[in-house]
Amino acid sequence: MHTKANNIVIRLLAIQVMLILAAISSSCQAQQILIDRGVRVANLWCFPLVTNPKEYLYLPTDGRLSVDKNGRPQFSFMRYVVNVKGGDETPSTITEAPGGGVLHFLAEYSTPEEQVSRAQTALRKLLGDEEIKIRGPVIFASGRYAIISSIAKASVGTDAETATEKEMVATGNAPVLEGNRIAVSFDLDKQSAQILYNSFQMANPDISVVFEMQFEGLHDAYDATVDIDWSQVRKDQQFSAGVKAYFIGAEVDIALQRLMQNNAIRLVSRGEHSSTEALLNTVYSKILELLFSKTEEPPPPSQQESALDSLTKLISGTSSRTTYLSLTGSYRLKEMSSSGHTVLNFNHQAVSKRTALITFNIGDLYKKYGEDGNYFKSVNLADPIYSQREVLVSVDGSLLNDFDKYINSVSVTIKKDHENGTSTIGEVVVDRNTFTQKANRFSVVYGWDGDKDRAKWLEYQYRVRWSFLDGAVLEEDWRTTNSPMINVVPPYERHEVSVEGDPQTMKQAGVRYSLVKVSYDFFGKTKTKQILIRVKDKPVQETIELIQPKGEYRYTYEVKWGLQEGQEISKPPTDDSSGIIFIDEMPG
C-alpha cells in the first residue's frame, strides 16, 4: 500500500515539474520582442511583443541600493582599529595603530511603477491607440555588473596620480530579473578606509555601479546585404595575425567603422530603412559575432583606462542606454579561417542581441545616516574573545539559469585553523531551491579560539565543489584568503558556434539537408551537440551553444550532407576554435 501511494505521489510531482517547465518555456517565447521597433517615452525604452504588437515590454532604468522591508538601505561601512604595542625602539607614547575598514552593500535595478504608468499613457497618445499596454519588464538573457572606484580596492598606490585613477574593483554576473540583488563587499586598508569615509561626506562618493545587461529580440527584415572581404580584413593592422588578441568595446567600434570605410566590409542597403540606426546596430551586431567572441573577464589593466573613460561618461550622464557592445568586458579576436568573400543577407527576421547599460552612484548616504551606527560605525577590536567573523558566500547570478540545466549543485567548504590547533568547518550547498529561498545570500561563521594574531585570524581556507548533471564533478583546490566575501564564479564559459550557409549554393549542389555535429571536452567528459538543417529559401543562420571550461575554445565538428539522390557526403572531423561553420563549403 505504501509503495503504491509513494508511486502516485512521485507521478504527481513529475507532472507538476513538467507543467512548470512548460510554463517557463511558454513565458520565454511569449516575451520575444521586436527589437528594432523600440520607442523611448517617459525616459523608458519600450518594445512591442512579436505575438501582440499592442503589448510592450520595457527595459528597467534605475540602479539603486537595495532596501529592507522598512525602506532603509542595505548598506554598512565599518572602520576598525586593532590595538598593538609599539616596539621597544619606539620612543613615543602615542603611536599609530593598524586598522582598516569593511564596506558592504546590496544593489539592484528596477523601474518605478509611476514611470511605467507615465510611459504607457505616453505610448497610447503617441500611437493613438488606447489598447496599448505595457505588460512588464524585459527578461534579460544575461548580465554583468562592475563597481567603479579609485578607493575601494585592496591597496592604494603611493603615487598620487595613480591613486586617483578609477578602477573596476569588482565584476561579476548580474541577476537577469528586475528586483534581484547583488551583494558587494570590500576589505579596505587603513588609508583607503579613511579616504572613503571622507568621500562619503560628499554628494557623489567615489563608488558607482554599472549593470550591463544583454537582451534579445527579432530584428526587422531589411533590403540589405553585407559583403566581407576576408583578405582585406586581414590587411588591417589591428587584425594582422598575432598583433592583438583582446579588444575593449570602444576599440571594436572604431575597428568596425574603419573596416566599413576601407571597404573590407561593404554594406549595400536599399529602401526606406537604408540608413537607420536600427539597421546599423543589426549589421554591427552580426559582424561582431563573426569577428569576436565576448569574454567575461574585465579589460586588461593596460586597456582599463579607455574602458573606464566610456563608463565614467555614462555615469555622469543618463542612467540607462542601449548599445550593441560590452563596455565592462573585453573581446577576443577569433581565428580567421575563412577565405574569399562572405555575403550576409538581412532580408529576413532573425534574433539580434543588444546591451542595456544601467548606472548609478551610491549617493549621499552620510548626510542621512552618518550618525546612525547601523550604517557608519567605528570599532576597536581589542577584545578578541568576543569576536566572530561571518564570511558571506554569493554565487554569480547567471547560475540561476544553469541549475537543472547544467548543474546539480555547488558547495563551498570553509575551514578555519585556529592557533590552538582546533578547526572550525562550515559548508554552504547551493542549488536552485536554496538560491531562490535565500536570495543568493549565504554565510558561514567562525569565532575566536586561541587566536592571538588578529590579522592571521582573518585568514581562512575555502574549497568549491561543482556537481554537474551529466555526472561530472569538479573539485577545486583549497584557497587561502582573508576576504569577508567569497564570490563563486562558474569554472566554465558559454560560447556560440554559428552555422551559416547560402541555400542557393547548396541547392545547386543537390543538397537536401545538412547534419552538423559538434563535440568538445567538459572537465574530462565529452559533450556532443548536433543540429539538422533542411535547405530552404532563407540563408542558414543557426547557433550551437557550447559550455566549456574557461579559456578553452577548441572543439571538433563534423558535417554530413544529404543529396537529392539519397546519397550522403561528409567532411572528416575538424578541430577548430573560430566559432563559425560554413555548411555551403562542401568537399569537392
The residues spanned by each domain of the chain are 33-216+359-368, 221-348, 384-490, 491-588
Rounded Cα–Cα distance for residues 582 and 588 (Å): 15
Q: Which residue has the cell 573560430?
A: 578
Which pLDDT score, from 0 to 100, does residue 438 have? 85
Q: Side-chain half-sphere of 565: how many Cα atoms within 13 Å?
A: 5
Distance of CA 346 to CAs 120, 219, 262, 300, 492, Å? 31, 9, 21, 35, 33
CA 373-376-381 angle, 5° bins: 80
> Does the domain at residues 384-490 carry the CATH identifier 2.50.20?
no
Amino acid at 140: F
Which residue in 375, 333, 281 sits closest to 577, CA to CA?
A: 333
Beta bridge pairs of residue 343 = 227
Candidates 42, 73, 38; CA nearest to 56 is: 38
What pLDDT sits at residue 168? 60
Helix (H) or strand (E) holding 390: strand 388-395
Instruction: Pick left, alpha or beta for residue 252 (phi over 0 → left; psi -120 to 50 → alpha; otherwise beta).
Output: alpha
pLDDT at position 61: 86
Question: Which one-letter DSSP state was computed for residue 202?
Answer: S
| Spatial distance between the Cα atoms of 286 and 580, rounded to a whole number of angstroms | 12
Positive or negative: CA dihedral 125, 130, 131, 134: positive
pLDDT of residue 28: 45
Residue from 113, 134, 115, 112 nearest 123 by CA: 134
**CATH fold of the domain at 491-588:** Immunoglobulin-like (2.60.40)
- For 571, the grid coordinates are 567532411
Q: Residue 353 and residue 300: Cα distance in Å, rounded?
A: 24
Q: Is 483 exposed, middle or buried (0-12, 13-18, 19+ CB in 10 A)?
A: middle
Flag residues of the chain having pLDDT under 70. Answer: 1-30, 83-95, 152-169, 237, 240-245, 271-275, 296-321
Q: Could you check whether 384-490 and 491-588 share the same CATH topology?
A: yes
Yes or no: say if 378 and 228 are a contact pair by the CB < 8 Å rule: no
> Residues near 266 by Cβ (< 8 Å), separated by ≥ 6?
226, 227, 229, 260
141 vs 382: CA distance, rounded Å: 48
The DSSP secondary-structure symbol of 538 reads S
pLDDT of residue 299: 58
Write down the pLDDT at residue 158. 32
State residue 125's pLDDT score: 95
Run of H or E residues at 570: strand 568-576
Query: Grid coordinates 528594432 are at which residue?
Result: 36
Q: Rounded to an integer, what distance in angstroms lies between the CA atom of residue 437 and that of residue 485?
A: 20
Show the cell assigned to 401: 539559469
Q: Residue 464 contacts by C-beta under 8 Å, 6 or more apart in sequence?
A: 410, 411, 412, 475, 476, 488
Query: Distance of CA 565 to CAs 3, 505, 511, 568, Å?
Result: 56, 17, 9, 9
